[in-house]
Amino acid sequence: MLRLHVESKSFRTAAGGVLPVLGQIDLTLGRREIVALVGPSGCGKTTLLRITGGLDPAFEGTLAWAAGVMPRIGTVFQEPRLLPWRTVWQNLLLAQRSANLKLASDLLRTLDLSGSRDAYPGTLSLGMARRGAIARAFAIEPDLVLLDEPFVSLDPEAARRGQALLLEAWRARPTAALLVTHDRAEAAALADRILLLGGTPTRVLEEVIVAARARRPAGEIS
């Protein structure tokens, strides 16, 4: 569904210089494929995600979508970025183009947030807020989900739980997904394919295909 070719991407520094971040990177994504981008912090993983999401159009290269139009994209940012003055429920509905109450409440149940439906995000733990952000991303019936380190700085237990619930939400409605992480175990647990990024400027060092497992019925990737 996605074919991204980055020739190069650089940032302007405060001193007026040019700082190259990304080198040549090719990225393709199937309709129901989960691809993980793994690399050291600061290597430009998030930048790659922002380019894909259309939030950073200033790069050398091309971004092409299968149908020629940009698909519906649900983004899970590194910080939950829920509106603190709206309840979890309102946050989900506000992201939706047209209200789909059934999907929103199904997602809250899947992500184990039913009890926090009418809570303000400030009263949630970080792990719960992260799950709220995941619910919001899936609530818009996305074709593609972008996840930027969705479980970073959680304790291992909460992170594992989050990963399991994320997969459950994905199984209920499979989409393409691009997952940024620096945790190889997390990448292996969630993704079909892992791109190891590194070098200066950053490029793909290695591509790893994760063997199909029980969690992903065969033939789902296309």
Partner 1 sequence: MSARLASRFDSEPLIRLAAAAAFLLVWQIGAGLAHSRLLPSFTAVLRAMVLETLSGALPWNLAITLGRVAAAFTISLLLGCALGIAMGRWRRLDLLLDNAVTVLLNLPALVIIVLLYVWFGLNETAAIAAVALNKLPSTTIVLREGTRALDPTLDEMAVSFRMPRWRVLRHVVLPQLVPYIFAAARSGLALIWKIVLVVELLGRSNGVGFQIQIYFQLFDVTMILAYTLAFILVVQLIEWGALQPLELWTTRWRR
Give least dist CB 53 to partner 1, A.
6
Told to check if 132 binds partner 1 by CB under 8 A, we report no
CB contact set of 163 (below 8 Å; sequence gap of 6+): 151, 186, 189, 190
- Kindly report the backbone phi and psi dihedral angles of residue 195, in degrees, each rounded to the nearest multiple of 5, phi listed first: -105, 120
Told to check if 84 binds partner 1 by CB under 8 A, we report yes
CB atoms within 10 A of CB 215: 12
Which range of residues in 77-85, 124-132, 157-165, 200-208 is near partner 1 by CB under 8 A?
77-85
Please count the residues of this chain forming the interface with partner 1, following the rule CB under 8 A.
21
Told to check if 122 binds partner 1 by CB under 8 A, we report yes
The helix or strand, by DSSP H or E, that contains position 15, with its residue range, turns out to be none
Buried (b) or exposed (e) across 163-176, using 16+ Cβ within 10 A?
bebbeebbeeebbb
Nearer to partner 1, 56 or 220 (CB): 56
The residue within the footprint of partner 1, chosen from 35, 140, 187, 190 (CB under 8 A), is: 140
Give least dist CB 195 to partner 1, A.
22
Task: In whole angstroms, give the CA distance from residue 87 to residue 35.
Answer: 31
Chain contacts with partner 1 (rule: CB under 8 A):
53-55, 73-75, 77, 79, 81, 83-86, 90, 94-95, 97, 120, 122, 136, 140
